[in-house]
Amino acid sequence: MESTAANEIDGVNNTQGRIPLAKILLSVLGIAVLFSGVLIAAVSLWLLWATRSEALPGTYRAAGVWGSSTLTLRANHTFAQDVQFMEYDEPSVPPYRQHPTKHQFIEGRWEGRGRAPKFFFDRRLMIKVSVRSRPY
């Protein structure tokens, strides 16, 4: 009798107006899972769009301790690559000055070979060199 009296105030059952904490937590969890699924789907669709064959042409640059390289893929399936190799002066102590050792320019054709089997968003390319300049 005391438990029902504690839930009643002025003759009104007070438990009907409250939402249990478990329902609130499950609702928040469900919304979070739904949002995560939508976000993953949106990122996957964007990656598929960004890695399509028509998006490949452009200029790509790489640099490191070995030197630098610029690869230009053109929409007509030709490419040009400019590579500058570098070496450190001897002795190799600070300030680590570099000097160019070899410069090469390569041209040719490229073709898409589909997507990589292990990581679907990677593209496979076949590059055929047709003109290779002498190093200078």
Residue 128 has pLDDT above 60, yes or no: yes
Q: Are 89 and 100 in contact (CB under 8 A)?
A: no
Give the pLDDT confidence score for residue 71 in this predicted structure: 93
Task: Report the phi/psi class of residue 36: left, alpha or beta, with left for phi > 0 and alpha for psi in -120 to 50.
Answer: alpha
| Residues 3-45 pLDDT 10s | 555 555 555 555 556 778 888 899 999 999 999 999 999 998 8
Mean pLDDT of 112-133: 76
Give the pLDDT confidence score for residue 23 in this predicted structure: 87
More confidently predicted of 67 and 133: 67
Mean pLDDT of 101-126: 80
Q: For residues 81 and 103, what is the distance between their CA atoms, to the nearest angstrom?
A: 11
Q: For residues 131 and 106, what is the distance between their CA atoms, to the nearest angstrom?
A: 6
Q: For residues 103 and 70, what is the distance between their CA atoms, to the nearest angstrom?
A: 12
Give the pLDDT confidence score for residue 79 in this predicted structure: 92
User: What count of residues does the chain have?
Assistant: 136
**HEC secondary structure over 40-80:** HHHHHHHHHHHCCHHHCCEEEEEEECCEEEEEEECCCCEEE
Give the pLDDT confidence score for residue 32 in this predicted structure: 95
Residue 2 has pLDDT above 60, yes or no: no
Query: Would you say the C-alpha torsion 93, 98, 99, 101 has a positive or negative sign?
Result: positive
Cis upstream peptide for 57 (omega within 30°): no
Q: For residues 135 and 87, what is the distance between their CA atoms, to the nearest angstrom?
A: 15
Give the pLDDT confidence score for residue 33 in this predicted structure: 95
| Residues 63-108 pLDDT 10s | 988 889 999 999 898 999 999 988 776 665 566 677 778 888 999 9
